[in-house]
Structure 1
Amino acid sequence: MPEIQTNNLVDRGQLKIQVTSRQRAVPIPNATIEISYTGDPDSVLETVSTDENGQTPVVDLPAPPVEYSMSPSENQPYSEYNLKIHSDEYKPVTISGAQILSGVEGLQPVSMIPEETHTPTEEHPIVIGPHTLWGNYPPKIAESEIKPVNESGEIVLSRVVIPEYIIVHDGPVGDKTAQNYYVRYKNYIKNVAACEIYSTWPRATLEANILAIMSFTLNRVYTEWYRNKGHDFTITSSTAYDHKFIPGKTTYNSINTIVDEIFADYLSRPNVRQPILTQYCDGKKVSCPEWMTLL
């Protein structure tokens, strides 16, 4: 791993893998998963199998010191692992870059395609990109936090609705080649939070940031922001416009539990029905004096 030396992995994190069929989302028992460092994919560290619920046991894996994720650091705060998943009657899946942080349990979803499905024999591996606080992503383009809703022809929901699904455009607004993903609302929030905040942070900090993510997302839903511009999606995965979303991203129990508890909440202003478009930056690589900062 070029960014992190294995001899710095003095702490431990945990990982559980959930394997399901893409056709009906049913659990796949007896799937075999080989785990290796991303920087040394041919050296298998652990081999585990799924139970009747399609889940593996919790696996302990080396991780960097927790301090790396608590404040800005020159050290990568998570370790990265590759997963090779095999199961009879299903096409194999490879995931590169599952991120493990100290002291928290990660949940890695895996969706497998039956062998008889008429798709190419080899699928591209799922590559989990860097965390937004570690990698380089476009900064958010500033917008007003409250959108006008009285313009002629504009469609706006009559009340704030927590959707069951949202459609995520996996790329910039104008990229017509980018794929759209239908994602359950709670799963989308969990994915974004795992991409944009560190799961090691104190609960109050996680909760405040998750609330901001949900408010932003619900503003896009409430105002039908992209549909009113002629698009067929709810939100994008581009950090220039919205939040980072990575298909197949590892999520974490510390984040998932909070989302399950407060998923119907959002921030608003007095006498304003719509959720606030809560914009923020990391406060380190990008300065945003009038917004929330993560660090």
Structure 2
Amino acid sequence: MPENDRINTSLPDNSAKGSLKVSLTSSLTAAPVANAKVSISYTGIPDSTLEELMTDSSGQTESLTLDAPPLEYSLDPAFDEQPYSEYTLRIEAEGYAPISVAGAEVLASTLSLQNLALAPLGAENNDSVYVIPAHTLYGEYPAKIPEEEIKPVQESGEIVLSRVVVPEYIVVHDGSPRDSTAKNYYVKYKDYIKNVASSEIYATWPAATIRANVLAIMSFTLNRVYTEWYRNQGYDFTITSSTAFDHKWIPNRNIFDSISVVVDELFADYLSRPNVKQPILTQYCDGRQVQCPNWMTQWGSKSLGDQGYTPIEILRYYYGDDMYINTAEAISGVPASWPGYDLSVGSSGDKVRQMQEQLNVIAGAYPALPKVDADGIYGTATENSVRKFQSIFSLPQTGVVDYKTWYKISEIYVGVSRIAELT
């Protein structure tokens, strides 16, 4: 069996612990799925259930502590042992098709988030099984085919975007570009970045290293969006899941909390060079199995993070001193942009009122979220509602609407209200 398709059937070294939390929503309404049964077993021994959990009114299970290999396995490239344990999840909910995920990864001292959208029962989706292949730093995958980091801009109008825009969705082709049998997936941009980062780096790494790698992933992806690289070749997708051409993306894989928080913070950013309008196609390799002069190496970026380098210092170490961080001019799919400052107790005005109204719409689908008076005044009731929202959606529970909380509220509001209108 190819290395990237194998499933590890050995039990994890239980000298360390990680944790896992499951969140379920309806694929039709984006509302949480309560009272769903989640059965958890070791991958390779799926009939031996370790735990059974039920989802609450927010569609979430409690955070479950699970065995994981020692932390150092994911921190030192000298170790050949698998640094994460693998679990199989079986989801059953009344009115929905059962779904199973085999190979969900749990790292030591890290919270793993398994987010799934359940499809209603129907003839075409009686049962779905997803197998998560090996992490790219552990398995064997094709090396990236080198490309120019800046694409030529044709005067013929092939580049149709006049500015860098963060898309709401991208279309991911789950295979190599010429594989016509591979399926296309419509994926939220932030979810795509979280998936790729969780597939290609370890969430146990230094925060600066995670940020540097997330910036490289986002810049590469936005280059594909901005240049319409594949559509200009006659394809009907934005990017592929092939490591030879793009990044590793895996349908319904788990993500990691430490990576998710960073993406929510940085999702509108990308990497630029002076006098270059398009995001830079920032290519990289692992630096252990594959070497890539003039590109960032993931294990090398981890070493620099250990030494105290900042994200931009890590990136400039590999890509040169003229690399800098830019911010997209527009973000698609949001009702209004962040006001440019944090909203907290004592704030007032239209932005507060808009945020309160969105929270109340979300509360219609998430009953654990308390509704507030949409009076434009940020009081303790609004603070408590915001804190509960942050708890539900895995954000730091500050009670303050900062950049990442504002856009997470917008994202959930759009999902709940848009699908409600359609149905």
| Candidates 192, 204, 207, aligned match of 2:208 | 204
1:157 has 2:167 as partner: no
State the Cα deviation string for residues 124-168 of structure 1 (Å, max 9, x = none). x11111101011111100000000002535224111111111110
CA distance in 2, matches of 1:122, 1:278: 39
State the Cα deviation string for residues 59-83 of structure 1 (Å, max 9, x = none). 0000011100012121000000001
Q: Scaled by the length of structure 1, what TM-score is found?
A: 0.96
1:131 equivalent in structure 2: 135
1:224 has 2:219 as partner: no
1:114 has 2:120 as partner: yes
Q: Scaled by the length of structure 2, what TM-score is found?
A: 0.67
Give the AA of the match of 2:288: K
Q: Is the 8 A contact 2:9 2:44 kept in 1?
A: no
RMSD, aligned CA? 1.4
Q: Which has the larger radius of gyration?
A: 2
2:16 equivalent in structure 1: 11
SS in 1 for 2:59: coil
Label 1:28 to 1:20 Cα distance change in 2 as closer, same or farther (>3 A).
same
CA distance in 2, matches of 1:51, 1:284: 43
Q: Is the 8 A contact 2:18 2:108 kept in 1?
A: yes
CA distance in 2, matches of 1:214, 1:263: 7
Q: Is the 8 A contact 1:193 1:210 kept in 2?
A: yes
SS in 2 for 1:248: coil
SS in 2 for 1:267: strand
Q: Give the number of the structure with larger relative contact order, counting CA–CA contacts within 8 Å between residues 6 or more apart.
A: 1
Q: Following superposition of structure 1 onto structure 2, how do residues 183-194 of structure 1 map, counting pairs within 5 Å?
A: 183-194=187-198
Q: Is the 8 A contact 2:8 2:44 kept in 1?
A: no
Q: Is the 8 A contact 2:168 2:188 kept in 1?
A: yes
Q: Give 1:289 deviation, angstroms.
A: 1.3
1:76 equivalent in structure 2: 82
SS in 2 for 1:222: helix
State the Cα deviation string for residues 224-270 of structure 1 (Å, max 9, x = none). 11111111111000000000000101001100000000111111101
CA distance in 1, matches of 2:263, 2:271: 15
Give the AA of the match of 1:130: A
Q: Following superposition of structure 1 onto structure 2, how do residues 88-107 of structure 1 map, counting pairs within 5 Å?
A: 88-107=94-113
State the Cα deviation string for residues 41-91 of structure 1 (Å, max 9, x = none). 111111100000100000000001110001212100000000111111212
1:243 has 2:247 as partner: yes
Q: Give 1:122 deviation, angstroms.
A: 3.4
Q: Which runs of 4+ in 1 moved over 2 A?
A: 1-7, 120-123, 150-153
Number of aligned positions between the proteins: 293
Label 1:3 to 1:182 Cα distance change in 2 as closer, same or farther (>3 A).
closer
The unaligned stretches of length 5 or more in structure 1 are none
Q: Is the 8 A contact 2:74 2:83 kept in 1?
A: yes
Q: Indicate the larger mover: 151-160 or 20-29.
A: 151-160
Q: Give 1:25 deviation, angstroms.
A: 2.0
| Candidates 54, 63, 72, aligned match of 1:58 | 63
Give the AA of the match of 1:230: G
Q: Is the 8 A contact 1:4 1:75 kept in 2?
A: no
State the Cα deviation string for residues 9-61 of structure 1 (Å, max 9, x = none). 21111110011122222211000011000021111111100000100000000
